[in-house]
Amino acid sequence: MLHPIKSYLYFLWNSKNQHGVHSPFVYNLVTKCFYDTAKYPEYAVLKAYRNSLLANKNTIEVIDFGAGSRVFKSNTRAINQIAKNAGISSKRAELLFRIVNYFQPENILEIGTSLGLATSALALGNPKTKIITLEGCPKTLNQCQLQLQKFNINNVTPINTEFSSYLTTQNLQPTSYNPQPTTYNLVYFDGNHSKKATLKYFELLLPTITNDSIWIFDDIHWSKDMEETWEIIQNHPKVTVTIDTFQWGIVFFRNEQKKEHFVIRV
Ligand SMILES: C[S@@+](CC[C@H](N)C(=O)[O-])C[C@H]1O[C@@H](n2cnc3c(N)ncnc32)[C@H](O)[C@@H]1O
């Protein structure tokens, strides 16, 4: 438990705001999106979506995937506890909404749906965006689907699958028949926070990148393992700009940018 605290102190020491950011691309992103203080009407929908989950004391039997929970001891879990412990915070959901609203990606892939707290932010950020979201636990995904219907969110395709089996069976590699594989303009990695799995998803998805792809990795400082993963991703030759917001590592593949790593307080 000491690890995240040490990492956060290190982050606070190294992080900055827009001052001293010379890249116009990153400067604009920080000032016009990260620090955008407008009160979007969609924030009220995100809040209502969360509150309805927090009010739901029903329990479901979950199948536990990924790197394991530091909170739950049993697989019978109350919906409100899952929402409280496994989902994105309100502040970050609003930031995710603004990122989608700012970049207007056409296709989004979310790896790790849970109850859809982040999915709803991705979906409301641009109603024209098509979102595919992956979740291994069928009962959790079912709750998410009910919730999306309740809030009339229709631009999401939830898929019940183990992550690697989905990614390995999709048409992600270019072939002579299909030289341009599936493109996701934004990928949100939020499940199975282990080094091995994250690097595997990273490699599997690399053929889908374009110059404008945005990849967001959650919990990059969750453990030593994830910090090593983040360092490997930053050093990858295809990666140019990265932004560490402590909770997230945001990755860009823009050829016109020199390789540069930013540590930004949001
Ligand atoms: C942290 S939660 C996602 C939270 C969600 N993005 C949000 O902000 O509300 C991670 C989810 O990924 C699922 N998961 C983890 N590893 C998985 C795997 N290997 N295959 C399929 N689902 C997995 C878990 O069941 C869990 O619901």
Determine the pLDDT at residue 172: 76
158 lines ligand 1 (CB under 6 A): no
DSSP conformation class of 248: E
- Alpha carbon distance 148, 242 (integer Å): 32
137 lines ligand 1 (CB under 6 A): yes
Of the chain, the end-to-end C-alpha distance in Å amounts to 23
Determine the pLDDT at residue 254: 97
Determine the pLDDT at residue 258: 94
Tokens read off for 17: 């705001």
Kindly give the parts of the chain with pLDDT less than 70.
1, 66-71, 174, 176, 178-181
133 lines ligand 1 (CB under 6 A): no
42 lines ligand 1 (CB under 6 A): no
Q: How many CB atoms lie within 10 A of CB 173?
A: 13
Beta bridge partners of 22: none
> Any idea what the Cα angle at residue 248 is, between residues 242 and 254, rounded to 5°?
25
219 lines ligand 1 (CB under 6 A): no
Determine the pLDDT at residue 146: 97
Determine the pLDDT at residue 1: 62
| 111, 137 contact by CB (below 8 A) | no
| 140, 112 contact by CB (below 8 A) | no
Predicted confidence (pLDDT) per residue in 82-97, tens digit: 999 989 999 999 999 9
Query: What ligand 1 atom has the least distance to the C-alpha of 63?
Result: 25
Determine the pLDDT at residue 67: 54
Top mutation candidate among 62, 65, 186 for ligand 1, by most atoms within 8 Å of CB: 65
Going from the Cα of 216 to the center of ligand 1, the distance in angstroms, rounded, reads 15
- Alpha carbon distance 174, 178 (integer Å): 6
Side-by-side strand order, sheet with 107-111: 156-160, 130-135, 107-111, 186-189, 214-218, 248-252, 241-244, 260-263
Determine the pLDDT at residue 155: 96
87 lines ligand 1 (CB under 6 A): yes
Write the single-letter amino acid at 189. Answer: F
Going from the Cα of 63 to the center of ligand 1, the distance in angstroms, rounded, reads 10
Residues making up the chain, counted from first to last:
266
Q: How many CB atoms lie within 10 A of CB 7?
A: 18
